[in-house]
Amino acid sequence: MAVSVYGLYFVVTLFLGSFFGSVFMLGPFLPLMLLSPAWYRYITDRIVATWLTLPVSLLELVFGVKVVITGDGFIPGERSVIVMNHRTRLDWMFLWCCLLRYSYLRLEKICLKAALKAVPGFGWAMQVACFVFIQRRWDTDKKHLENMLDYFCDIREPLQLLLFPEGTDLTENTRSKSDAFAAENSLPKFEYVLHPRTTGFTFIVEKLRKGDNLDAVHDITVAYPKNIPQTERHLILGLFPREIHFHVRRYPVASLPSSSSDLEAWCRERWAEKEARLRSNIHDMCDRPHHAGGRTSEAGERLRVIPPGGMSCADAVFHCPLLGHRHTTTKDKITEPSIFILKSHQEKKPAVASKHHVQSLQSRKYTR
């Protein structure tokens, strides 16, 4: 297939933005890392988070990607571990569309392959943002993870750490390896997810919980019902996802098991739920349109269509980390299954929200 002008524009724009942003916006603050680590973290996190609004804007405003979010609400500013199935190599970037509206992008740190930190521009910014780079070898990664988590606990800076327990994205090759692991351990074979590696997850949760730097675990299931951009090459070819679906489940830290073995079992249970949800709902996502009055999924959930957080993509970008903060209490969350669909230029009428959620949105304050 031929290279797409739109795909090339997207990739080149992000590369140039990250390259020159790292040199001219982040570079001058590097000496501050030695003089005042707290101010260095404060400033650089907000600069990086502001840049993260660029790919979100391009995906939604330029390329028309629709984002659908169901399940529990995020509590902005909450300290959490985010676990998500790894459907493509780009899931971490697409998640920014969700976090931009319902959390703080400046809090997100991602566990990524160590090779990515050497990529010019992107890798430099990720290192400054304090992303966690792993070798995917536990004997090597354990000490590095321990040092990073101790650092976050020591500076008392809240974080939302994104982790992919599967360790790699879903392909025919990785699925076959997952099936072999399942056969060896008398586990069921999965079609839509891979069996998770639970060692790193349990270590991170226990470390953050011990350091009193964890409020909840967010379990996110991602799906691409229309088309799947498996790698960066698909973006260059212009094969952007038409829709991205996120299902969010929030588990307060008090509800998590206390022992390592129980945490591992808890994580495996969540992945079994992901497999069941994707198996039952993926055809429903692809075949049925979303109506403003809501619809019922095959799983029996009543899903309502409402504007995300009352903000369009442009509004969400305007409320970026350098312009203001969103003040939200722990009570400001969605307690019923809801579905958020980003408004596009084709929509004529505003969507209808539930009475409970309207009251929840009215309680939010936005300041510049």
Would strands 339-341 and 108-113 be described as parallel, antiparallel, or unpaired?
Answer: unpaired
For the record, the structure tokens of 72 come out as: 């529990």
Rounded CA-CA distance 29/40 in Å is: 7
Tens digits of residue pLDDT in 185-227: 999 999 999 999 999 999 999 999 999 999 999 999 999 988 8
Rounded CA-CA distance 77/321 in Å is: 12
> What integer pLDDT is reported at residue 283 of this predicted model?
60
- Single-letter residue type at 190: F
DSSP helix/strand/coil, 83: strand
> What integer pLDDT is reported at residue 215 of this predicted model?
94
> What integer pLDDT is reported at residue 364 of this predicted model?
34
Q: How far is CA 126 from CA 19, 102, 113, in A?
A: 11, 22, 11
Rounded CA-CA distance 299/288 in Å is: 14
Would strands 325-327 and 302-303 be described as parallel, antiparallel, or unpaired?
Answer: unpaired
Q: How far is CA 3 from CA 58, 65, 200, in A?
A: 18, 19, 38
> What integer pLDDT is reported at residue 361 of this predicted model?
29
Q: How many beta carbons lie within 10 A of that of residue 309, not counting itself?
A: 23
3-state SS of 334-350 is CCCCCEEECCCCCCCCC
At which residue do the structure tokens 């069921």 appear?
Answer: 188
Question: Domain ranges in the chain?
Answer: 5-367
Rounded CA-CA distance 175/190 in Å is: 8
Rg (CA), the chain: 20
Q: How many beta carbons lie within 10 A of that of residue 153, not counting itself?
A: 17
- Single-letter residue type at 13: T
Q: pTM here?
A: 0.80
Rounded CA-CA distance 325/328 in Å is: 9
> What integer pLDDT is reported at residue 189 of this predicted model?
94
Mean pLDDT by 10 residues, the chain (368 residues): 88 94 93 89 93 94 92 86 96 93 89 89 92 89 91 85 94 95 93 94 94 94 91 92 94 94 95 94 56 36 36 51 41 36 33 35 32
> What integer pLDDT is reported at residue 278 of this predicted model?
93
For the record, the structure tokens of 163 come out as: 């982790």
> What integer pLDDT is reported at residue 285 of this predicted model?
59
- Single-letter residue type at 84: M
What's the CA angle centered on 164, arms 159 and 170, to 5 degrees?
Answer: 155
